[in-house]
C-alpha cells in the first residue's frame, strides 16, 4: 500500500485553502485529517483544542458512518453535521480520501459553511491530485535507484529511540 506523503509546497497550498475557507465561512477552526486519523493541516484557534484526539475521533466517526452507508447500500455519506448548543461541527469528505472538518458557532451558519466548503473542496481536490502525482513520480525515481531518505535508517537509530 502506498504511503501518504506530504511535501512542503502542497502543505502550504492546503494551509492557504483552509485558511481562506476559515475566513470565508467565518469558522472558528478548519482542519484536514486523512481517513486513518492523521492530522494533515489546521487553521484557526487551536490553542484550546486537542487536535490529535480530534483527528482520531473524526476519522473513527467517518469510518463508522461509512460502514453504516455500505450496510444500507450507499457508497458513502459525503457530509456529516453535528449540532451543539454553542459550537457545531461540519465534516465533508474530499476526494474520497481526506476529511475536511469545520467548527463554527453562531457567527456563521450551516448554509454559509456548506456554500464555502463546496468551493474549497474543489481547490483541495486539485492539491491532492498533485500530491498523488508527485508520490508516483517519486516512486519511479526510486525504482531508477534514487533512495528514499529513510533507506539509511540504521538499527542504532531505532534503538536510540528506546533508550531511557
Residues that bind another protein (CB under 8 A): 1-8, 10-12, 34-38, 40, 50, 52-53, 56-57, 60, 63-64, 66-67, 148-153, 157-158, 160-162
Nearest distance from residue 86's CB to another protein, in Å?
Answer: 22
C-alpha cell at 34: 486523512
Q: How far is CA 110 from CA 21, 83, 114, 137, in A?
A: 14, 10, 6, 40
Q: How far is the CB of 9 from another protein (least distance, A)?
A: 8
Looking at beta carbons only, is 72 or 162 nearer to another protein?
Answer: 162
CB of 135 to another protein, least distance (A): 10
Q: Minimum Å distance from CB 158 to another protein?
A: 5
C-alpha cell at 16: 492557504
Nearer to another protein, 97 or 118 (CB): 97
State the residue for C-alpha cell 506530504.
Answer: 6
Identify which of residues 37 and 44 has a Cβ nearer to another protein in the complex. 37
In angstroms, what CA-CA distances link 22 with 113, 120, 121, 146, 147?
Answer: 9, 10, 13, 40, 39
**Closest to another protein by CB, 4 or 77:** 4
For helices 110-143 and 8-24, angle between their N-to-C axes, nearest 10 degrees? 180
Amino acid at each position: 500500500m502506498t504511503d501518504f506523503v506530504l511535501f512542503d509546497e502542497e502543505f502550504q497550498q492546503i494551509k492557504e485553502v483552509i485558511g481562506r475557507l476559515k475566513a470565508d465561512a467565518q469558522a472558528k477552526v478548519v482542519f484536514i485529517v486523512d481517513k486513518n486519523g492523521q492530522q494533515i493541516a489546521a487553521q484557526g484557534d487551536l490553542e484550546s483544542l486537542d487536535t490529535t484526539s480530534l483527528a482520531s475521533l473524526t476519522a473513527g466517526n467517518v469510518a463508522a458512518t461509512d460502514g453504516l452507508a455500505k450496510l444500507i447500500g450507499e457508497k458513502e455519506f459525503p457530509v456529516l453535521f453535528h449540532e451543539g448548543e454553542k459550537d457545531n461541527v461540519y465534516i465533508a469528505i474530499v476526494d474520497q480520501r481526506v476529511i475536511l472538518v469545520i467548527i463554527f458557532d453562531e457567527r456563521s451558519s450551516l448554509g454559509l459553511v456548506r456554500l464555502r466548503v463546496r468551493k474549497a473542496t474543489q481547490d483541495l481536490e486539485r492539491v491532492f491530485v498533485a500530491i498523488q502525482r508527485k508520490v508516483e513520480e517519486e516512486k519511479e525515481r526510486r525504482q531508477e535507484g534514487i533512495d528514499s531518505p529513510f533507506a539509511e535508517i540504521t538499527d542504532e537509530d531505532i534503538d536510540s529511540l528506546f533508550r531511557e
